[in-house]
Amino acid sequence: MNTQKELIFDTQLIRRFDINGPRYTSYPTADRFVEAFDAQALREWLAKRGVGGLSRPLSLYFHIPFCNTICYYCACNKIITKDHGRSAKYLKYLAKEIEMQAACLGGTRQVAQLHLGGGTPTFLSHEEMHQLMDSVREHFTLIPNGEYSIEVDPRKVDFDTVELLANLGFNRMSVGVQDFASDVQEAVNRVQSYEETKLVVDAARVTGFKSVSMDLIYGLPRQNVISFNRTLEQVLEISPDRISLYSYAHLPQLFKPQRRINSADMPTADTKLQILQLAIRRLTEAGYVYIGMDHFAKPEDELTIAQRQGRLHRNFQGYSTHAECDLLAFGVSAISKVGPTYAQNVKTLDEYYDILDQDELPVLRGIELTADDLLRRAIIQALMCHFELSIESIQIAHLIDFKTYFAEELADLREMEKAGLLKVEDDWISVEPAGRLLVRGIAMVFDRYLRADRERARYSKVI
């Protein structure tokens, strides 16, 4: 069993194995969902939660798509507006979707986890925040000491807003930063000072938030090693509990706002790698634990503890401590995970409103996982979350002979094993320290859909 938690940054290996691939917030990935899985299918699975008297606790996700201004790097499903009439209407329909999903629900309505994402959830006024949480509490029970998180834009939030969020029950906050360098901020149209960011984090600590996470992006226009080192110094001064360090994928052909970025300002591939190497060194020297992919956390953080105890999980919000939950998602483009299924909502406001007006759940597409999907999902989760896989536990849980079932995959892993990315033993597959940054590429070997479809251009690079 591989108990090492360190990380080795090998530039040559990264260049060799840095391929396009999914981030595995789900398996199968959302691009494999089908329209044959519809509202009726979701209703049936919501009802089945109560069968047998045992049902999982719930995790709730709400997609708030509105933003006051556009950040040029952003690839999220968002609507740029300053008109709060639009959010008022959206919340009315969101309340209807909450009521409709709850009415279909078998089993417990106890909620262990809740997350507001976007867009910019703090686009909502104080009154609208109250309204949304009242709708939630009308139909669900938020358990004491649950994990209730929200994404925050510090440019639009003051102490009073943070205090309101705490009073509404939120206890975790994710703060968008990306980079503190002013020329980088101007190039991506997100000008945000160190002072206003620190004010929000300080307010979260004063008002009792358990954890503050900070998002950074490497590979943005005008970034260089020296300027990003200064950003890291400022981040470490604030000392968030968790840090997400995302790789910027410049795909202007897919994401219109990215066309406003001057390609000549983009850092070279070498500079981008140097920035990543610097960031990993600075964060780990400061005591942060590398959780996996793009996440770092302090040793006492719940994510780190969950990884140590083998309880870490990966979902649409990244790494999570709540593996056992069914995830109900609300709002445009949001994705639910109920039992062995995924369901994604329609992506535009007009469709969302039209379908809810017909008293139907606004499902666009989804999938019911096969036994093979569930098996491969378990393998990919183990590799992404724990950097190791117990072959025996997979054989017992899924009633297969691993070496026969995955003969082709094991053959494909040999090249990675020779390069020192992983070790394949009789009972374990262990990702080595030099392979941890490339774990997405290792997980891809077990992706049946990718094995049948070598077209990977739609995915971002692993690094």
Predicted confidence at residue 98, as pLDDT, reads 98
Predicted confidence at residue 54, as pLDDT, reads 66
Distance CA 17, CA 20 (A): 10
Q: Name the residue with tokens 């996996």.
A: 292
Predicted confidence at residue 21, as pLDDT, reads 82
Predicted confidence at residue 1, as pLDDT, reads 39
Is 290 annotated as a binding-site member? Answer: no
Is 178 annotated as a binding-site member? Answer: yes
Predicted confidence at residue 3, as pLDDT, reads 39
Mean pLDDT of 158-187: 97
Same domain for 288 and 146, yes or no, is yes
Same domain for 232 and 89, yes or no, is yes
Is 353 annotated as a binding-site member? Answer: no
Mean pLDDT of 343-368: 98
Looking at the predicted structure, is the pLDDT value of residue 415 above 70?
yes
Domain CATH for 4: 1.10.10.920
Q: Name the residue with tokens 């990003």.
A: 228
Looking at the predicted structure, is the pLDDT value of residue 32 above 50?
yes
Q: Name the residue with tokens 């149209």.
A: 189
Predicted confidence at residue 4, as pLDDT, reads 41
Is 119 annotated as a binding-site member? Answer: yes
Distance CA 222, CA 224 (A): 7
Is 4 annotated as a binding-site member? Answer: no
Mean pLDDT of 50-70: 87
- Residue-wise pLDDT for 241-252, tens only, equals 999 999 998 989
Is position 362 within any domain?
Answer: no
Four-point Cα dihedral 296, 298, 303, 308, nearest 10: 100
Is 61 annotated as a binding-site member? Answer: yes
Is 325 annotated as a binding-site member? Answer: no
Distance CA 308, CA 413 (A): 26
Number of domains in the chain: 2
Mean pLDDT of 188-205: 96
DSSP 8-state code for residue 122: G
Q: What does 154-212 look like in DSSP terms, one character per residue?
A: GGG--HHHHHHHHHTT--EEEEEEE---HHHHHHHT----HHHHHHHHHHHHHTT-SEE
Is 90 annotated as a binding-site member? Answer: no
- Residue-wise pLDDT for 316-328, tens only, equals 777 888 777 899 9
Is 73 annotated as a binding-site member? Answer: yes
Distance CA 401, CA 446 (A): 15
Looking at the predicted structure, is the pLDDT value of residue 289 above 90?
yes
Average pLDDT over the chain, rounded to an integer: 92
Same domain for 260 and 117, yes or no, is yes
Same domain for 112 and 132, yes or no, is yes
Is position 344 within any domain?
Answer: no
Please list, in sequence order, all residues whose beta carbon lies within 8 angstroms of the beta carbon of residue 46, skipping any fewer than 6 positions away.
Answer: 101, 104, 105, 106, 328, 338
Kindly provide the residue ranges of all beta strands, DSSP E only, lying in 298-402, ordered along the sequence: 313-315, 318-320, 326-330, 335-338, 341-345, 363-368, 388-390
Would the CA dihedral through 429, 434, 435, 437 be positive or negative?
positive
Predicted confidence at residue 315, as pLDDT, reads 79
Q: Name the residue with tokens 């530039």.
A: 11
Same domain for 5 and 59, yes or no, is no
Q: Name the residue with tokens 């807003």.
A: 161
Q: Name the residue with tokens 């600075």.
A: 282
Same domain for 374 and 292, yes or no, is no
Distance CA 49, CA 104 (A): 10
Structural domain including 402 reads: 1-28+370-463
Distance CA 172, CA 149 (A): 4
Please state the length of the chain. 463
Same domain for 248 and 303, yes or no, is yes
Is 194 annotated as a binding-site member? Answer: no
Same domain for 267 and 325, yes or no, is yes
Show the tokens assigned to 3.
């108990």
Please report which confidence band the pLDDT of residue 462 belongs to, taking 50, 70 and 90 as the band edges.
low
Domain CATH for 49: 3.80.30.20
- Residue-wise pLDDT for 266-286, tens only, equals 999 999 999 999 999 999 999
Predicted confidence at residue 35, as pLDDT, reads 96
Query: Of the candidates 313, 329, 345, which is a domain's last residue?
Result: 329
- Residue-wise pLDDT for 84-120, tens only, equals 889 999 999 999 999 999 999 988 899 999 999 999 9
Looking at the predicted structure, is the pLDDT value of residue 463 above 80?
no
Please report which confidence band the pLDDT of residue 5 belongs to, taking 50, 70 and 90 as the band edges.
low
Mean pLDDT of 400-408: 97
Predicted confidence at residue 2, as pLDDT, reads 40
Is 249 annotated as a binding-site member? Answer: yes
Would the CA dihedral through 417, 423, 428, 430 be positive or negative?
negative
Looking at the predicted structure, is the pLDDT value of residue 184 above 50?
yes
Same domain for 210 and 319, yes or no, is yes
Output the pTM of the full model.
0.92
Is 196 annotated as a binding-site member? Answer: no
Mean pLDDT of 413-440: 94
Query: Of the candidates 310, 329, 348, which is a domain's last residue?
Result: 329
In this structure, what are the phi and psi dihedrals at residue 231, rounded to the nearest 5 degrees? Answer: -60, -45
Please indicate whether residue 408 or residue 55 has the higher confidence score (pLDDT).
408
Distance CA 214, CA 235 (A): 8
Predicted confidence at residue 294, as pLDDT, reads 87
Please indicate whether residue 419 or residue 455 has the higher confidence score (pLDDT).
419
Same domain for 450 and 325, yes or no, is no
Predicted confidence at residue 384, as pLDDT, reads 92
Mean pLDDT of 157-173: 97
Is 67 annotated as a binding-site member? Answer: yes
Is position 337 within any domain?
Answer: no
Query: Of the candidates 329, 359, 387, which is a domain's last residue?
Result: 329
Looking at the predicted structure, is the pLDDT value of residue 303 above 50?
yes
Same domain for 391 and 270, yes or no, is no
Predicted confidence at residue 319, as pLDDT, reads 86
Same domain for 214 and 325, yes or no, is yes
